[in-house]
Amino acid sequence: MKKLVSSSEAAQLLGLSLQGIHYRIKKGQLESIKRDGKIFVYVDTTQTNTKQISSPLTSQTNDYKYLEEKIISSKDEQIHLLKKTIKFMKKQYTSEIHRLDKNQTQVLKVFQSEVDLLKSAFNEMRNIYKLDHQETTQINKSNESVSDTSVGMEFMDIKEFFVFMKNHNKSDAQIKSIILDKVKQSDKRFIYNKKSKEILIYKSDFLDLI
């Protein structure tokens, strides 16, 4: 038969401390209700017959047992909390490592892109420089050739050359062909100035052409 008593009476009947009663209520080992702000406990009177008010030594033993159970419970809670903390920290660590790896990959891609762009710009500038250098060299050589050839020589107007050749029975087509052939053959009497795009003809007897 169960009897409803106060928590202090239940401690006396069951030979426990008041803390032990509250601990068992919390663990669901004792049935209890709350009235007017006070806690009342259902105690089985058939079990209390053999559990009379315990001696101070028994009460002290029960207190030690309660403290031991409380310490074990607290330890289990701390272990559970530590496991959750370690799991969270491991997840954060993995996430941070992944983020750093991703950022490093992006930085390397940007850096490689910049390097490729610089290489392309350098090659383009080098090609432009080569073309400019080649054109300048060719112009200089052409000018030097004209200058060297013109020393001590006089040139004639292309119209004069046409008149001269016609006097020797040459047609316009033949005269044009002669001029083009001599320019291609680098005949020093026929100089093509690439800069001014003019043909300079130096005076000669032109015996080989008539």
- pLDDT, tens digit, for every residue of 113-138? 888 888 888 888 888 877 766 666 66
Tokens 């001590």: give the residue.
Answer: 152
Instruction: Give yes or no for residue 177 having a pLDDT over 90.
Output: yes
Instruction: Identify the architecture of domain 2-54 in CATH.
Output: Orthogonal Bundle (1.10)
Name 9's Cβ contacts closer than 8 Å, sequence gap at least 6.
41, 43
From 34, 51, 32, select the one nearest 42 (Cα to Cα).
32
Helix (H, G, I), strand (E, B) or coil at 109: helix
Residue 87 sits at φ, ψ, to 5 deg, of -65, -40
Would the CA dihedral through 137, 141, 144, 150 be positive or negative? negative
Helix (H, G, I), strand (E, B) or coil at 36: coil
- pLDDT, tens digit, for every residue of 1-31? 788 899 889 888 888 888 888 888 988 888 8
Helix (H, G, I), strand (E, B) or coil at 43: strand
Give the model's confidence band at 37: pLDDT under 50 very low, under 70 low, under 90 confident, else very high: confident
State how far the Cα of 25 lies from the Cα of 96, in Å rounded to an integer: 45
CATH 1.10.1660.10 in the chain is located at: 2-54
